[in-house]
Structures are given as structure tokens and as C-alpha cells.
């Protein structure tokens, strides 16, 4: 995705580039689908252009510490070998076999000893030391990003402690930690006694510049007007306002509605955005977002009362027990609200008043709840 299509993140990305170039570790935590991964990938590209060596590791896909270690080794080696997944080749060479693709010995030499390590714990620790070795050998700054970092903690009881210990004194390496489970990350990085206490500088994304999702409405306005103008489509300020009202300015939701709007207008050979076209595009986008929404929704099903309280918030219904709502004990409602806030899903407006951070997810919840009760979803 080209940087110019990342709306309203320029200042934020520059800040990350500066911090990481200076050798600071950073923490980027934020709700789902607000652009964390897109941002860090662009930041890493910029750092590489500045001469740094980089690595990107998604912790979510690893099933054990060896798997996580291998991902890191692959990411580090790619800087030297220029190919993905070169650790496979290192293992082949270490075992006296021929690598399946052309790699030079010096490209994987860094990891040859590791390739022979059979003990998972020692392998993991060795992998964690690799960025530092690379920095020392090349004299270059190494920047490694761990995406969905909270997931690493599920791979074993002391994973975070081990990582912190290995990272502690690494010269020449800067780490970026990203994740969507803000609650867990906040604890890990800001509670005394936790493994990553004060290890990284948190750089707020969700509220950057005091804006919702950290993106200034003016940035959306400029971007959308220009983008549609390129396609010879006119969109006026009122339509942009209406669009942002409907999406709350959530990055992915907004882009999804815009894409639907664009295709709709192209197919219908329309040149001017109207409220009706916008409404159709919104419905289309809501259908397209059903998958991630259904996922969030089922996640909420894992904890008692979360779906119920979420539904009440979405419907703007009474939150606490009354004659018409099923009795959920007040402490349970409060606990659920706290959990929904920690997940970045709802925000408190005032005493007993909450709303969905992401209006389209709120709409999804209203419709799901409506269907369950056998009510025709409202348009
Ligand atoms: N600032 C932005 N402007 C335009 N589109 C954006 C912006 N931020 C994110 N997007 C789009 O939203 C989608 C989700 O972005 P991305 O995967 O980077 O978010 P994330 O926070 O990493 O999500 P997840 O929580 O699922 O890991 C992508 O399709 C991306 O292109
Ligand atoms: Mg992501």
C-alpha cells in the first residue's frame, strides 16, 4: 500500500522513524484494524532507505517458541541473503545437504550454529541474540518490529522475561512492539514488576493529535476530495461529513465505504456523490466487513455478559438492570463495560453512558442482536 494512501499518518510515521533511528524502543498499541501493521511496514521501508537493517515478525502465527525464533531468524537473515525464509537453507547446509535455492554461505553463516541447536529454549535465546550480532557485524542500526506482540506471551510461561533479558543490553538494535490487545500490552509495559516495564516508549496511535483514531478530519477531507477528483467524481464537504459520521473515521471502515462508493458510481456512470449513493455504498461495505465483525463478535462470546452488554450499548438501551431488561448484577455490567473499553470497543461518554468507538461495528451488533430476537433489522 503506497504511503499516500495511509491517510493522516504522516506525522505519526515520522515520529516512529525518528525514535527508532535514535535507537529507542517503541510501543504501538491500538484497537483492531486502525492501521498498525500498515504503519510499521511503511516505517520499516523508510528506515531501510535510510540505511538501517530491518525485520518484521508477526507473533500471531507462531505456535511455539521455536517457531517464533525461526520467524525472527528468517527476518534477520533476509537483510543479508535478500531472500525470504533463508533459515530453511541454513538448516539444509548445516545438515550437510544442498540448499534448494541459491544462497551463499556467507548469507546464512550467521545462523549456521543456530541451525544445529536442538534444544528449543537455547534455540529461542540464540535467535533473540541474532539482531545484535547482525548490528555488531555490519555496524548498521537494526530495527525489528514484533507485531501482535501480546500473542508471544501465550507461547510459554516465561517468554516475555526471556525476551526482555536478551533485549536488555543489545547495542545497535531498536525494537517496535505492536499489538491490538491494549489491556495486555499496557500491563506488560507499564506495570511495575512486569517483564517489559518501561522498556519501550508508548506512542499513542488511537488518539494521536487528540483525534478519533488519531486521524484529523481535514486529512480525510483533502484525501477523499483529491482521490475522487482523480477519478473525475465530485464529492462535497457535506457528503464527506456524512461519510465520516457513518464510519466514525475508522480507517478501514472509511476506506471500505469509499471503495464501494467508487465502484458503485463507476458502474452507474455517476459523477456526483449523493446521499442515496452513499447509503447504498454503506450497506455494501457493511456486508464486506461482516467477516472481521463476526470475528470480534464471537470473541466477545467467550466472556460472560460481554455480548449482552455490548448489545445494550449498541442499542443505547438501559445498561443496568431494570424491569424490562434481564437482571445482570451491576458489578457484572461494570466488569463487562471495563472489558469492552480495554478492548478499545466502547468508550465512556458520561455517567452510565457509553458508545461504540467504531460506529459500523455498533451497527453490526444492532443487526445481529435484532436478528437473534427475530426482529427485522432496521435499515
Ligand atoms: N490511515 C489509513 N488510511 C487508509 N487506509 C487505512 C489506514 N489505516 C489502515 N487502513 C486500511 O485498513 C486496513 C487495516 O489496516 P492494518 O491491517 O494495517 O491495521 P491493523 O491495526 O494492523 O489491524 P489488525 O488489528 O487487524 O492487525 C487495511 O486495509 C489498510 O489498508
Ligand atoms: Mg495488524
In-domain check, residue 332: yes
Could you say which ligand is closest to the alpha carbon of residue 182? 1
pLDDT of residue 181: 80
pLDDT of residue 103: 78
Both 153 and 170 in one domain: the answer is: yes
CATH code for the domain of 96: 3.40.50.300
Ligand 1 pocket test: pick from 27, 37, 38 the residue with the most ligand atoms within 8 Å of its Cβ. 38
Both 150 and 77 in one domain: the answer is: yes
Both 29 and 124 in one domain: the answer is: yes
In-domain check, residue 377: no
Average pLDDT, the chain: 92
Both 162 and 309 in one domain: the answer is: no
Both 103 and 127 in one domain: the answer is: yes
Both 278 and 301 in one domain: the answer is: no
Both 316 and 197 in one domain: the answer is: no
List the Cα angle 4/9/10 in 5-degree steps.
70
Q: Could you read off the pLDDT of 16-51 as tens digits, one per residue?
A: 999 999 999 999 998 889 999 999 999 999 999 999
Phi, psi of 117 (to 5 degrees): -75, 120
Both 129 and 9 in one domain: the answer is: yes
Q: What is the DSSP letter of 57?
A: E
Q: Could you read off the pLDDT of 204-256 as tens digits, one per residue?
A: 998 888 888 999 999 999 999 999 999 999 999 999 999 999 999 999 999 99
List 175's β-bridge partners, or say none. 144
Ligand 1 pocket test: pick from 252, 254, 293 the residue with the most ligand atoms within 8 Å of its Cβ. 252
pLDDT of residue 378: 44
pLDDT at 375 over 50: no
Coil/strand/helix, residue 14: helix
CATH code for the domain of 338: 1.10.10
Could you say which ligand is closest to the alpha carbon of residue 40? 1
- pTM to 2 decimal places: 0.91
Q: How far is the CA of 376 from the centre of ligand 1 (A)?
A: 32
Number of domains in the chain: 3
Q: What is the mean pLDDT of residues 183-189?
A: 90
Both 315 and 270 in one domain: the answer is: no
> Whose CA is closest to atom 26 on ligand 1?
33
pLDDT at 373 over 60: no
Q: Could you read off the pLDDT of 289-320 as tens digits, one per residue?
A: 999 999 999 999 999 999 999 999 999 988 88
| Range 151-157, long-range pairs (CB < 8 A, 24+ positions) | 151/59, 151/60, 151/62, 151/179, 152/59, 152/62, 152/68, 153/184, 153/188, 155/62, 155/63, 155/64, 155/65, 155/67, 155/68, 156/64, 156/65
Atom of ligand 1 nearest to the CA of 41: 18
DSSP E strands, the chain: 26-29, 53-58, 142-147, 173-179, 201-202, 346-350, 353-356
Both 245 and 178 in one domain: the answer is: no
C-alpha cell read off for 320: 443496568
Q: What is the mean pLDDT of residues 263-273?
A: 96
C-alpha cell read off for 341: 473499553
In-domain check, residue 379: no
Q: Tell me the angle at which helices 275-288 and 359-372 cross, rounded to the nearest 10 degrees.
A: 70
In Å, how far are 87, 191, 375 from 30, measured between CA atoms?
A: 32, 18, 34
Among 122-126, 281-285, 290-294, 367-371, the minimum mean pLDDT is found in 367-371
Both 113 and 11 in one domain: the answer is: yes
The binding-site residues of ligand 1, defined as CB within 6 angstroms of any ligand atom, are 1, 5-9, 32-38, 180, 215, 251-252, 255
Q: What is the mean pLDDT of residues 320-349?
A: 84
Ligand 1 pocket test: pick from 10, 27, 35 the residue with the most ligand atoms within 8 Å of its Cβ. 35
Half-sphere exposure of residue 5: CA atoms within 13 angstroms, side-chain side:
10
Both 202 and 272 in one domain: the answer is: no
Atom of ligand 1 nearest to the CA of 30: 21
pLDDT of residue 314: 96
Closest CA to 264 of 294, 235, 238: 235
Coil/strand/helix, residue 118: coil
Q: How far is the CA of 179 from the centre of ligand 2 (A)?
A: 7
Residue 372 banded pLDDT, cuts 50, 70, 90: low
Find the helix or strand (DSSP H, E) in which 196 lies: none
pLDDT of residue 27: 97
Considering 258, 288, 318, which residue would you say is the last residue of a domain? 288
CA 296 – CA 314 distance, rounded (Å): 14
Domain that holds residue 35: 3-210
Considering 267, 288, 309, which residue would you say is the last residue of a domain? 288
In-domain check, residue 11: yes
In-domain check, residue 154: yes
Considering 210, 227, 250, which residue would you say is the last residue of a domain? 210
Amino acid at each position: 500500500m503506497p504511503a499516500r494512501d495511509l491517510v493522516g499518518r504522516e506525522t505519526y510515521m515520522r515520529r516512529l522513524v525518528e525514535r527508532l533511528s535514535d535507537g529507542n524502543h517503541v510501543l504501538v498499541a491500538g484497537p483492531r484494524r486502525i492501521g498498525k501493521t500498515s504503519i510499521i511496514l511503511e516505517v520499516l521501508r523508510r528506515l531501510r532507505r535510510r540505511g538501517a537493517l530491518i525485520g518484521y515478525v508477526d507473533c500471531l502465527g507462531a505456535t511455539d517458541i521455536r517457531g517464533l525464533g525461526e520467524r525472527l531468524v528468517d527476518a534477520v537473515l533476509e537483510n543479508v541473503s535478500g531472500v525470504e525464509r533463508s533459515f530453511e537453507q541454513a538448516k539444509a547446509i548445516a545438515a550437510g545437504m544442498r540448499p534448494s535455492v541459491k544462497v551463499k554461505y556467507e548469507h546464512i553463516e550467521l545462523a549456521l550454529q543456530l541451525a544445529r541447536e536442538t534444544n528449543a529454549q537455547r534455540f529461542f535465546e540464540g535467535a533473540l541474540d541474532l539482531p545484535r550480532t547482525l548490528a555488531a557485524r555490519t555496524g548498521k542500526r537494526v530495527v525489528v518490529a514484533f507485531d501482535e506482540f501480546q500473542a508471544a506471551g501465550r507461547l510459554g510461561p516465561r517468554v516475555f522475561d526471556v525476551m526482555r533479558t536478551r533485549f536488555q543490553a543489545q547495542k545497535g538494535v531498536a525494537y517496535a512492539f505492536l499489538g491490538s490487545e491494549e489491556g495486555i500490552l499496557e500491563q506488560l509495559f507499564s506495570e511495575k514488576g512486569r517483564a517489559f516495564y518501561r522498556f519501550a516508549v508508548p506512542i499513542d496511535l488511537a488518539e494521536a493529535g487528540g483525534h478519533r483514531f488519531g486521524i484529523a478530519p481535514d486529512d480525510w477531507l483533502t484525501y477523499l476530495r483529491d482521490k475522487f477528483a482523480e477519478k473525475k467524481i465530485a464529492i462535497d464537504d457535506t457528503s464527506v461529513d456524512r461519510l465520516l459520521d457513518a464510519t466514525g473515521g475508522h480507517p478501514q471502515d472509511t476506506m471500505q465505504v469509499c471503495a464501494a462508493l467508487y465502484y458503485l458510481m463507476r458502474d452507474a456512470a455517476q459523477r456526483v456523490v449523493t446521499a442515496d449513493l452513499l447509503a447504498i455504498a454503506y450497506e455494501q461495505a457493511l456486508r464486506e466487513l461482516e467477516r472481521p465483525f463476526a470475528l470480534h463478535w464471537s470473541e466477545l462470546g467467550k466472556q460472560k455478559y460481554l455480548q449482552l452488554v455490548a448489545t445494550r450499548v449498541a442499542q443505547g438501551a438501559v445498561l443496568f438492570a431494570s424491569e424490562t431488561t434481564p437482571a445482570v448484577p451491576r458489578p457484572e455490567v461494570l466488569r463487562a463495560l471495563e472489558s469492552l473499553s480495554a478492548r478499545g470497543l466502547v468508550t465512556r461518554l458520561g455517567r452510565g453512558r457509553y458508545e461504540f468507538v467504531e460506529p459500523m461495528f455498533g451497527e453490526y451488533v444492532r443487526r445481529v442482536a435484532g436478528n437473534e430476537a427475530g426482529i427485522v433489522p432496521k435499515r
